[in-house]
Structure 1
């Protein structure tokens, strides 16, 4: 019998989502108007979980401050992974919470309550771990598992490359306390202890590891443009309901094209067009005559009058000036030392980017945090944090 308790692994940064994660961890990035982690908590609670331990690390104070001691009347306990040494190491930090069968989930991916319920229902006495699995043609950069006809898992790996019938590991587990000892016995790889490697140790030792294939929704944002796809999918599946907060102000001459979610205390000016597939975070402003489509506009952001913002992701406190133009994707993007062609992103503007108006952003532009862009400039490529772009 699975206890109604869960451990949420939310200690990572999300380096491939930089510069959005400069000031907050990946679990606190928005999917719609709510952080990813809030969606995770909702799915756990809706599946019957009534006690949650959250493992925090990178920028963990952002999580603690946002949620406090409870969420939806469910108590939240926090433990800190002092050094980022892998998912197994993170779970080991929460050892005191694992005194019976416990649900473990990744806090930076969206796995809906159906997957949690399926894992809980499939976990049987004698199994050390039960893993939630999803059928996908391509596993790609994620984890995969081989499921036998009797429901046992014969192999679990990260980033599988062999042409075998892998199912995607959804990052939802029911675990027994034996997982902790397996983590201790598993050799670190590149200095990190992986939860997946610890589960492989259990399989190699002859312990029973079960898997269950779920038709629940599973989503992940690996790169910044994925946040747009995640939000669009949540709209299409009804996980995000189109809504205008009662405290928001939308001018009678503005046009709102559903699906759209407009958060608390937002303001949409005369003649503005917002949507479709657009999310405005709390206290965001869209000026008169501005157009915002297929975009994720975060908390306290400002879109100036007559600006055009398409396929855009912003951080918090961004100010897009009057008549500035983000024409939409696709565009070529550089993330670290990798280049991606034809991604569907007009621009990514990290926290507190400010432009002086009349700025043109070339599709695929990535602008770091605290950047100032002069009026009339053309911006392209990747702009590092705390720089000034001249006209």
Structure 2
């Protein structure tokens, strides 16, 4: 494949990541301190992609305003999926932007260049599609693939049986016949699935190949998974063990414990301890003698003096008051109508949540956007958007 075109699917919201996705789509959530989709772009370009088409929908202005018309001198062609009617529908929305063979990747999952390169190298004119696969013991929440002698004989969403599945990493090399298959499948609850299109190809006895790769693949399904995403980037060396922006201001008496990443214009005050496994976004301030450990702190957040954050995920513009404590997980987390037990989350504080200081967060607490927690409160469970909690 030369002059490689890639379609990046980035139109979805990420419902299970609410309240973090109340104001932006899942692809724009931070992987360490950089949007997930930016990591995807980097890996595509390093693998040799020369043209980018991005399918946007929910929160599309966040994607388009962040990247503009180009990324690293590669033009970006934006296609709008007006209604989020599935990955197959998103693929068809971008059909006119490509001709011949193209790559398709998910813009909301971390996938590294090795998987992309393996797919490019494996695909040839004899195949209608080639999928990037990884070995993973549990594929029950994703797409499972049965691979025999390099060809995929079955693809199953959320498999529950004990067969020897490989995980579908969401990296596809597709011929035009795949677009025809996407058109041919019957919508399920009004949505067209790209996986169903691949199954249609298999059923029609088209050649669908798979290549098992050792590359990094990580998905953030729930808010606490952003901690795991950052850990994976550190472990893989994708993010260096110590990355401190030149414009960051670190007081001489502060302590930085690796691995750590600190973005532009962040400020770390006297006596503060940041790390290990801490990610501070742009313009974050960590007050004097505060502690921030194993946390992903998004842009414009303020952490007050003597505050403690462990196993914490924040949105943008959060205010943590003086002496407030996020003591760390594990905790039971309520997401929708489910309770997830013993998850590694101290607390999630969504965009512009504010506490007035001296607040204690029970493990697994979720605080919605623009909520305000008054001084001295102890909070647990789920606090809704725009809620005010008295001490």
TM-score (structure 1 length as normaliser): 0.99
| Counterpart mapping for 1:251-262 below 5 A | 251-262=251-262
Aligned to 2:325: 325
| Counterpart mapping for 1:153-172 below 5 A | 153-172=152-171
| Counterpart mapping for 1:1-391 below 5 A | 1=1, 3-149=3-149, 151-241=150-240, 242-391=242-391
Secondary structure at the counterpart of residue 42 of structure 2: helix
Unpaired runs of at least 5, structure 1: none
Deviation at 1:74, TM superposition (A): 0.9
Unpaired runs of at least 5, structure 2: none
| CA distance in 1: counterparts of 2:164 and 2:377, whole angstroms | 51
Secondary structure at the counterpart of residue 90 of structure 2: helix
In the comparison of the two structures, how many residue pairs are matched? 390
TM-superposition CA deviations, 1:131-156 (whole Å, max 9, x none): 0000111112010111112x110011
| CA distance in 1: counterparts of 2:161 and 2:332, whole angstroms | 29
| CA distance in 2: counterparts of 1:295 and 1:140, whole angstroms | 28
Deviation at 1:236, TM superposition (A): 1.3
RMSD between superposed Cα atoms in Å: 0.7
Deviation at 1:228, TM superposition (A): 0.2
Secondary structure at the counterpart of residue 386 of structure 2: coil
| CA distance in 1: counterparts of 2:339 and 2:243, whole angstroms | 36
TM-superposition CA deviations, 1:226-280 (whole Å, max 9, x none): 1101101111111111211000000000000011001100000000000000000
Deviation at 1:2, TM superposition (A): 5.4
TM-superposition CA deviations, 1:354-380 (whole Å, max 9, x none): 000000000000000010110111110
Deviation at 1:181, TM superposition (A): 1.1
TM-superposition CA deviations, 1:275-323 (whole Å, max 9, x none): 0000000000000000000000000000000000000000000000000
Relative distance call for 1:206 and 1:2 in structure 2 (3 A) is farther
Secondary structure at the counterpart of residue 230 of structure 1: helix
Deviation at 1:126, TM superposition (A): 2.1
Secondary structure at the counterpart of residue 23 of structure 2: coil
| CA distance in 1: counterparts of 2:85 and 2:257, whole angstroms | 45
Secondary structure at the counterpart of residue 179 of structure 2: helix
Aligned 8 A contact 2:346 2:362 in 1: yes
TM-superposition CA deviations, 1:84-109 (whole Å, max 9, x none): 10000001000112311001000000
| CA distance in 2: counterparts of 1:337 and 1:383, whole angstroms | 15
| CA distance in 2: counterparts of 1:138 and 1:248, whole angstroms | 40
Q: Which of structure 1's runs of 4+ aligned residues deviate more than 4 A? A: none
| CA distance in 1: counterparts of 2:3 and 2:209, whole angstroms | 18
Aligned 8 A contact 2:323 2:358 in 1: yes
Aligned 8 A contact 2:3 2:51 in 1: no
TM-score (structure 2 length as normaliser): 0.99
